[in-house]
Amino acid sequence: MNRCGVPRTLLSPVVALGLLFLPSLAAAQDLASFEKRITVKALDNGLTFVVCERPEAPVFSFFTYAAVGSAQEVSGITGIAHMFEHMAFKGTDVIGTNNYAEEARALERVEQMYTAYQAERQRQPKPDPARVAEAEKAWKDAIEAAGKYVVSNEFGDIVQRAGGVGLNAFTSADNTGYFYSLPSNRLELWAYLESERFLRPVFREFYKERDVVKEERRLGESEPIGRLIEQFGATAFTAHPYHHPTIGWMSDLDSFSATDARKFYDTYYAPSNMTVTVVGDVKASEVLQLAEKYFGRLPRKPAPAPLRTVEPPQNAEKEVRLHEEAQPLYAEGYHKPSAFDPDEAVYAAISDILSNGRVSRLYRSLVRDKKIAAFAGGFPGYPGTKYPNLFIFFAVPTPGHSGEEVRDAIRAEIVRLKTEDVTDEELRMVKTRAKANLIRGLGDNEGLAFGLGSAQGLHGDWRELFREVDRIDKVTKADVRRIANATFTDSNRTVGMIITKG
């Protein structure tokens, strides 16, 4: 602390108190103590359960991790992983219907009419407008007919009436996550609902919900940053499906069918592809009992085939410029390996040194000293981490300053990383922060379920959540220079910028 020029005496009034405290890293948050509170069990069908007992209050949270994201999509069905996520809220043959037998027939008819409508819409060389309109009407009539059997949003309603909070889900390039929290006396209701949604999902209101998803896409594409990121990703990735946006291209959202979504679900929602994590005031024995009883019903399915396409090495610098009626934004990305690479912790350390807080290099250079940016940072893992991905720099120029100016300042910091060692203090801060942030993340059920479940789902071991900190602890100055030199090269770079229309 003397490094900061702080006279020791300034601290004296409370030093006595300090002696009463234990050393900062106590035992309650280390890996060994979690080993005792965590139970992992794979069911016979391949589904993995992680249970962490945390009896602080009579509530629990869960996180269902499905190892499927938009990277599993191909042309024509982009956005369908996310579309299934929405369908997982639509109920089952018991929930969300007033007459499933009739509804099933009506839904079958919707699909038939949709197939016919699609055929007319896509007729070559030219669709006949009258026939398209007729087919469209038949399809829409079928949708209305099926709608009569719908009990609107009953699945979510059951959860919320039972006291559920935070009911939501997300889809990323790598995975799909489902989560909420309940009072702990509702554990069996939860086991029933969460297993049923994957055991017997009914794709009701599919085309209405597809409209909802199209609206979701419009929210993003109406923001300049949304337009930039979409163009940036599509430019940086040539072959790998990280190329396309998770929300999907509009023409695919306008075309894919409930049958397509069903096929996707059949392929990727194999129990062996899913991890369910429960954290809170629960007993592991009881959770596992319910897991066998309810989740054990999910039929075993073959493991989905691994993704074949590997992004080829980039051998040319790329740049995408959006001329917009908006203020400038700047991004540049560099290809890097997946999260399974031994150097993943080095990228995390580089990101921290460049971007974390007011001591970070990009803040001090671009925001504090040059005053050309309101924000500047660099982060690994765009758009995912399961496959080779991008380390992406991003900056928001202050008024009167351009993307080119922030670009030059970012590049100067990259050169520094490549040619000079980072300081001992910087590296120490990274390591201290990693430990402290881990501890800060252990104090709530939702965060723990997400952290443990993501580590188990991605790496096959929840302990990776803790080991990541150990790996960051081992990062050296030489590692930082080596990785900076290997990664931040001209031909490995994609630049994306918004330029204000003149």
Q: Distance between CA 61 and CA 49 in Å, rounded? A: 13
Q: Distance between CA 100 and CA 106 in Å, rounded? A: 10
**Cβ atoms of 229 and 110 closer than 8 Å:** no
**Cβ atoms of 177 and 63 closer than 8 Å:** yes
51, 52, 95, 345: residue in contact with other proteins (rule CB under 8 A) = 95
Give residue 246's Cα distance to chain centre.
10
Q: How far is the CB of 468 from other proteins (least distance, A)?
A: 15
List binders of other proteins among 371-390 (CB under 8 A).
371, 374
Asked if residue 288 binds other proteins (CB under 8 A), the reply is yes
Nearest alpha-carbon partner for 339 in 275, 388, 411? 388
- List the end-to-end C-alpha distance of the chain, in Å, as a whole number: 50
Q: Which region, judged by CB under 8 A, interacts with other proteins, from 89-97, 124-132, 412-420, 452-460?
A: 89-97
Q: How far is the CB of 358 from other proteins (least distance, A)?
A: 4
| Alpha helices, DSSP H, located in 200-257 | 206-221, 224-236, 250-253
Residue 125, preceding bond cis, omega within 30 degrees? yes
List binders of other proteins among 64-83 (CB under 8 A).
none
Angle ∠(428,431,433) on CA atoms, nearest 5: 105
169, 199, 429, 499: residue in contact with other proteins (rule CB under 8 A) = 429
Residue type, 345: A
Asked if residue 148 binds other proteins (CB under 8 A), the reply is no
Q: Which region, judged by CB under 8 A, interacts with other proteins, from 70-78, 106-114, 294-302, 415-423?
A: 294-302
List binders of other proteins among 171-190 (CB under 8 A).
181, 183-189
Q: How far is the CB of 500 from other proteins (least distance, A)?
A: 6
Asked if residue 126 binds other proteins (CB under 8 A), the reply is no
Residue type, 396: V
Nearest alpha-carbon partner for 457 in 273, 333, 311? 273
Indicate the residue among 225 and 486 with the shorter CB distance to other proteins: 225
Indicate the residue among 263 and 371 with the shorter CB distance to other proteins: 371
Q: How far is the CB of 352 from other proteins (least distance, A)?
A: 10
Query: x-or-dash pattern for other proteins, window 312-351, by CB under 8 A?
Result: ------------xxxx------------------------
62, 89, 149, 462: residue in contact with other proteins (rule CB under 8 A) = 89
Asked if residue 24 binds other proteins (CB under 8 A), the reply is yes
Residues 6+ apart with CB under 8 A from 421: 477, 478, 480, 481
Indicate the residue among 158 and 486 with the shorter CB distance to other proteins: 158
